[in-house]
Chain A
Amino acid sequence: MIIEVLTGAIIAGTSVLYATTGELISERAGVINLGTEGSMVSGAMAAFAATAWSGSPWIGLAFGAIAGLLISLIHAFLVIDRKANQLATGLTIMFFGLGLSAFFGRSLVDKQINGFESIDIPLLSQIPFVGRILFTHDVLTYLSYLLVPAVWFFLFRTKWGIILRGAGENEQVVYAYGKSPKLVRYLAVMAGGLLAGVGGAQLSTAFTHTWIEGMTQGRGIIAVALVIFASWLPFRAMLGAYLFGGAYALQLALQGRGVDISQFLLFMLPYVLTLVAMFIVERKQRNMMPLGLKDVFEGGGN
Chain B
Amino acid sequence: MSFLQEKMRFPGSQWIVGYVLPILLFALFLLLQGVNPIATFGNMISSVFGDFYGFGEVIIMTTPFILTALATVIPARAGLVNVGGEGQLAIGALTSTIAAVFLIDGWPMWIGLPLLMIFGALGGMIWAGIAAVLKAKSGMNETITTLLLNYIAFYTLAFFVHGPLKDPTSFNWPHSPELSDSLRLPTIPGSRIHIGIVIAIVIAVGMYFLFKKTRWGFYLKIVGGNPIAAFQSGFKVNKLQFWALVMGGAIAGLAGMIEVTGIEGRLRQTTGVDYGYLGFLAAWMARNHPIGIIFTALIIGMISVSGNSMEMTAGLPASVVHILMALVLFGILAMGRKSKS
Contacts and interface: CB of A to CB of B under 8 A. Distances in A.
Interface of A: 34, 74, 77-78, 81-85, 87-89, 91-96, 98-100, 102-103, 106, 213, 217-218, 221-222, 224-225, 228, 262, 264-265, 267-268, 271-272, 274-275, 278-279, 282-283, 285-286, 297-302
17 contacts: A78-B330, A78-B333, A81-B1, A82-B333, A82-B334, A83-B336, A84-B336, A92-B330, A96-B327, A99-B323, A102-B317, A102-B322, A221-B148, A262-B159, A265-B155, A274-B148, A301-B81
Contacts of B319: 98-100, 102-103, 106, 213
B293 to A, nearest CB: 14
A87 B162 contact: no
Contacts of B156: 264, 268
Given A78-B333, A92-B281, A222-B148, A87 B81 contact: yes
Interface in B190-233: 227
A65 B105 CA distance: 53
A81 B315 CA distance: 37
B334 A225 contact: no
- Name which of A92, A98, A282 has the most chain B CB atoms within 10 A of its CB: A92
B32 to A, nearest CB: 11
B106 interface: no
Interface stretch (B95-103, B121-129, B134-142, B257-265): B134-142
Nearest to B307: A99
Interface in B296-341: 316-323, 325-327, 329-330, 333-336, 338-341
B333 A84 contact: yes
A271 B329 CA distance: 28
B284 interface: yes
Interface in B118-164: 134, 138-141, 143-145, 147-152, 155-156, 158-159, 162-163
Contacts of A265: 155, 159
Given A78-B330, A88-B333, A95-B277, A225 B148 contact: yes
Contacts of B338: 83, 302
A56 to B, nearest CB: 26
A217 B151 contact: yes
Interface of B: 1, 76, 79, 81, 83, 134, 138-141, 143-145, 147-152, 155-156, 158-159, 162-163, 227, 277, 280-281, 284, 288, 316-323, 325-327, 329-330, 333-336, 338-341
B138 A282 contact: yes
Contact of B339 (A99, A100, A271, A302): A302
A196 B319 CA distance: 21
A278 B130 CA distance: 14
A81 to B, nearest CB: 6
Contacts of B318: 102
A294 B132 CA distance: 19
Contact of A93 (B149, B321, B326, B335): B326
B151 A271 contact: yes
B322 A99 contact: yes
Contacts of A92: 281, 326, 329-330, 333
A210 B46 CA distance: 39
Contacts of B339: 85, 300, 302
Contacts of B1: 81
Contacts of A213: 319
A191 to B, nearest CB: 21
A15 to B, nearest CB: 16
A123 B25 CA distance: 55
Contacts of A228: 141, 144
A67 to B, nearest CB: 15
B325 A95 contact: yes
A91 B280 contact: yes
Contacts of B281: 88, 91-92
A300 B79 contact: yes
Contact of A103 (B83, B145, B323): B323
A106 B317 contact: yes
The 4 closest A-B pairs by CB, nearest first: A99-B322, A102-B319, A96-B326, A264-B159
B141 A297 contact: yes
Contacts of A300: 76, 79, 81, 288, 339, 341
A268 B326 contact: no
A93 B277 CA distance: 12
Contacts of A298: 79, 227
B147 to A, nearest CB: 5
A96 B325 CA distance: 8
B143 A95 contact: no
Given A264-B155, A300-B79, A302-B340, 17 more contacts: A88-B281, A88-B333, A92-B326, A95-B329, A96-B322, A96-B326, A99-B319, A102-B317, A102-B319, A102-B322, A213-B319, A262-B159, A271-B152, A282-B139, A282-B140, A286-B139, A298-B79
